[in-house]
Chains A and B, each alone.
Chain A
Amino acid sequence: MAKNNSLHPNSNGETDDSPNMLVYRKMEDVIARMQDEKNGIPIRTVKSFLSKIPSVFSGSDIVQWLLKNLCIEDQVEALHLGTLMAAHGYFFPISDHVLTLKDDGTFYRFQTPYFWPSNCWEPENTDYAVYLCKRTMQNKARLELADYEAESLARLQRAFARKWEFIFMQAEAQAKVDKKRDKIERKILDSQERAFWDVHRPVPGCVNTTEVDIKKSSRMKNPHKTRKSVYGLQNDIRSHSPTHTPAPEAKQPTEEELREQIKFWQAQLDRHRLKMSKVAESLLSYTEQYSDYDPFLSTPDPSNPWISDDTTLWEMEASKEPGQTRVRRWGFGIDEVLKDPVGREQFLKFLESEFSSENLRFWLAVQELKRRPIREVPTRVQEIWEEFLAPGAPSAINVDSKSYDKTTQNIKDPGRYAFEDAQEHIYKLMKSDSYSRFIRSSAYQELLQAKKKGKSLISKRLPAVVQSC
């Protein structure tokens, strides 16, 4: 087999593993397995009336093969994958322009590797014109142009009016060459050529699988590999396509960069790591704790607005009176209180009742400082300093001397992170002290007792019938 596609190492020993190529390689591996003599799909020649249909297999054959060999459990999934492979042009229905897979007796044929997408085809309209033109020169009914093809041909004739004579000549020459071929061979090649154009000039309404993500296309590693000429109209010079820029030479890292890298690895080595068993337990317990709050796992009370078309859930959440489930969540950790506006309010109220709200107010002020435009920061830093940390501050907070000294330095050149150390210290203090008192307080406990009649219903999602739509 000619292995002149870009999936195999070039002379430098580099394989092209750009995203597109990666997928093509995987599909081609599947195709290779499908074509395997022992375990592949049986290809046969079918007798039909007075003629033979060479080299075909049925849609069902493909589906069955995929189910068995790719460990797919579901026929729908196998059909979907097969349709994608057909849409990329790896096999095609012999009697249809629309490249889709049907799980029935419809006949399919493999595409020749020459036309595989991994060859980076970008055929020009002049080639398409030659192709359509030569199709009109053939008498067979089965090769008649479809409506959309006839329309395309008309458009191309207008666009290439001046060089139409040249195109016509090329078409004639191609048609002549085709006629000389063996009848069976010709059937196969004709269908493969048609399938190639079905990929690159798809039926209107069908997905064009050759469309690329612009973020990836500009990094094609082998711009020289782009093939543009199907019928040898151009000199087949590997000209650059507008979206292709030559891949930059792999830069050798500089000495400085290497030193930075070494510093980085050393810092990483010094990191304290947790054992996987501990980490796993932590992940499990987090999801367990929050599964009652996950609408995909536990039906929300009263209902999920998207499913029931009833927005009561959102209205309840917007109200200032927090429901029991919401209050319970505040007990999971200080962050839950801090991120819920109602939680913050209740926490603040509690601390005010104890005349110890300055810590929380400081913490909130610093959070707010970081949200301001940079222009307002210096003034705000000064205000916070005056209120909470300056000698004789009205809401004096207690921070350790190290943080205090650092902060004193920071405010001389006030930035958004001027109070970072102090804030961290205060956060730890609140977490270990004020927060636990809040959760144990009667104020919190009262909120926790359901104000609503009866307990909140949190029902686990019932096992249900198959998914999707």
Chain B
Amino acid sequence: MACQGLAKGETTNTLKAESESLKAKLEEERAKLHDVELHQVAEKIDALGQFVMKTRRTLKGHGNKVLCMDWCRDKRRIVSSSQDGKVIVWDAYTTNKEHAVTMPCTWVMACAYAPSGCAVACGGLDNKCSVYPLSLDKNENLAAKKKSVAMHTNYLSSCSFTNSDMQILTSSGDGTCALWDVESGQLLQSFHGHSADVLSLDLAPSETGNTFVSGGCDKKANVWDMRSGQNVQSFETHESDINNVKYYPSGDAFATGSDDATCRLYDLRADREVAIYSKDSIIFGASSVDFSLSGRLLFAGYNDYTINVWDVLKGTRVAILFGHENRVSTVRVSPDGTAFCSGSWDNTLRIWA
């Protein structure tokens, strides 16, 4: 009936207005506690000296763009994946390739090393996340032992083992994240809340915590409770896609890299954005970010082929690293913080220290 339709329309509009006014109120509340800027408080600490950061190893072997990489807990091995469908395990210290797998799809956008060092997970345009146990026998065909774990309805953008070889957390172009039991392939928990592709996730570095953060094309960074599947905190200040999210080592904050050419720091206790890392001369998107062990430095890879190193507390840039000949797609600091690895569309990976 006509009047029912009218009532429904009014309800939706009223609800919308209510939602928006609550959101505005939240921003007000958040702003009230903003009594000082991080970089102002950081004025009292010493500035960092000039850094000598060089490429210490160059890993050549991929036939196309490197899209993702991850470190093994042994601090020297890495796994990398590429647009050409290849996933390679390297001993980055010696630059030797130890294993290679060819995926049935191109654009393998995500890869991860298992905590035990005995398996790797990867996926991309196949919408799946598959786990490959790493065999000591070099002749063994790794592809034969492949186990399909996650199934999404769009590309797999990121994957990460939790503290165990037995669970994998994934994010996807279908707008969701999901937690999977590796052995059975069972979906343990799904996370809904993003309104567009989810591009990245990172697990909180806590012995007791059960949370992770995700970022996506809806410009939002969401914090999730793994147990309940609930979105517990949300931040929306970027002006374009969030390509990468990483926790600050204490777990109280996280950084993001975005296509709006900025990186930002969000603190969970302050419940707001607390720093922006940007420059007029940086106009290309940041694809990937990671912290040094103490959290003082933020390494960020950009689509302008460079890596910028930021002083997290003072907000200034302390170094710009040239070397890659195409976009930097991934940047990860090693488990003991002695180096970081960058992967690029120039088909190579570099280890910097």
Chain A: residues with CB nearer than 8 A to chain B? 17, 19, 22-23, 26-27, 30, 66, 70-72, 74, 76-78, 80-81, 84, 207, 211, 214-216, 219, 252-253, 255, 258-259, 261-262, 264-266, 268-269, 271, 273-284, 286-291, 293-297, 300, 304-307, 311, 313-314, 317, 335, 338-339, 367, 370-375, 416-417, 420, 423-424, 427, 461-469
In the complex, which residues of chain B have a beta carbon less than 8 angstroms from the beta carbon of A261? 19
Which of A216, A296, A370, A427 is the one whose CB lies under 8 Å from B297?
A296
Contact A281 B51 (CB under 8 A): no
Q: Decide yes or no: A279 and B35 within 8 Å by CB, A19-B285, A84-B304, A464-B51 being known contacts.
A: no
Chain B: residues with CB nearer than 8 A to chain A? 8, 11-12, 15-16, 18-19, 22-23, 25-26, 29-30, 33-38, 41-42, 45, 48-57, 75-76, 93, 107, 109, 125, 155, 157, 162-167, 173, 181-184, 186, 188, 196-197, 199, 206-208, 217, 227, 231, 233-234, 239-241, 248-250, 252-253, 259-261, 267, 269-271, 274, 279-281, 283-285, 292-297, 303-306, 312-313, 319-323, 325-326, 336-339, 345-346, 351, 353
In the complex, which residues of chain A have a beta carbon less than 8 angstroms from the beta carbon of B294? 286-287, 289-291, 293-294, 297
Contact A84 B321 (CB under 8 A): no
Q: Decide yes or no: A293 and B293 within 8 Å by CB, A276-B34, A371-B166, A464-B51 being known contacts.
A: yes
In the complex, which residues of chain A have a beta carbon less than 8 angstroms from the beta carbon of B305? 80, 84
Contact A23 B303 (CB under 8 A): yes
Contact A284 B12 (CB under 8 A): no
**Closest B residue to A218 using CB positions:** B173
In the complex, which residues of chain A have a beta carbon less than 8 angstroms from the beta carbon of B270? 273-276, 279
* Cβ contacts A to B, 10 pairs, < 8 Å: A80-B304, A265-B23, A273-B30, A276-B270, A280-B41, A289-B294, A305-B338, A314-B76, A467-B51, A468-B322
Which of A26, A305, A467 is the one whose CB lies under 8 Å from B321?
A467
Which of A295, A317, A373 is the one whose CB lies under 8 Å from B166?
A373
- Distance A367 CA – B261 CA, assembled complex (angstroms): 39
Q: Main SS of chain B's interface residues? A: loop
Contact A290 B295 (CB under 8 A): yes
Q: Decide yes or no: A268 and B26 within 8 Å by CB, A286-B295, A290-B249 being known contacts.
A: yes
Write the nearest CB–CB distance from A68 to chain B, whole angstroms.
Answer: 12
Contact B56 A306 (CB under 8 A): yes
- Distance A375 CA – B181 CA, assembled complex (angstroms): 9
Which one of B25, B49, B292, B296 has the greatest number of beta carbons of chain A within 10 Å?
B296
Q: Decide yes or no: A467 and B319 within 8 Å by CB, A22-B260, A266-B22 being known contacts.
A: yes
Contact A80 B16 (CB under 8 A): no
- Distance A281 CA – B112 CA, assembled complex (angstroms): 34
Contact B19 A71 (CB under 8 A): no
Q: Decide yes or no: A469 and B54 within 8 Å by CB, A282-B252, A338-B207 being known contacts.
A: yes
- Distance A252 CA – B283 CA, assembled complex (angstroms): 33
Contact A283 B295 (CB under 8 A): yes
- Distance A417 CA – B16 CA, assembled complex (angstroms): 36
Q: Main SS of chain A's interface residues? A: helix
Contact A464 B54 (CB under 8 A): no
**Closest A residue to B188 using CB positions:** A374
**Closest A residue to B195 using CB positions:** A251
- Distance A281 CA – B18 CA, assembled complex (angstroms): 36
Contact B164 A371 (CB under 8 A): yes
Write the nearest CB–CB distance from B275 to chain A, whole angstroms.
Answer: 9
Contact A276 B274 (CB under 8 A): yes
In the complex, which residues of chain B have a beta carbon less than 8 angstroms from the beta carbon of A290? 249, 293-295
In the complex, which residues of chain A have a beta carbon less than 8 angstroms from the beta carbon of B336? 295, 314, 317
In the complex, which residues of chain B have a beta carbon less than 8 angstroms from the beta carbon of A289? 294
In the complex, which residues of chain A have a beta carbon less than 8 angstroms from the beta carbon of B164? 370-372
Q: Decide yes or no: A259 and B15 within 8 Å by CB, A276-B38, A465-B50 being known contacts.
A: yes
Q: A277-B41, A300-B338, A371-B162 are in contact. List 16 more A-B contacts (CB 8 A).
A: A76-B322, A77-B281, A77-B320, A84-B304, A207-B326, A211-B345, A214-B107, A279-B274, A286-B295, A291-B296, A295-B337, A335-B207, A370-B164, A420-B227, A467-B50, A468-B322
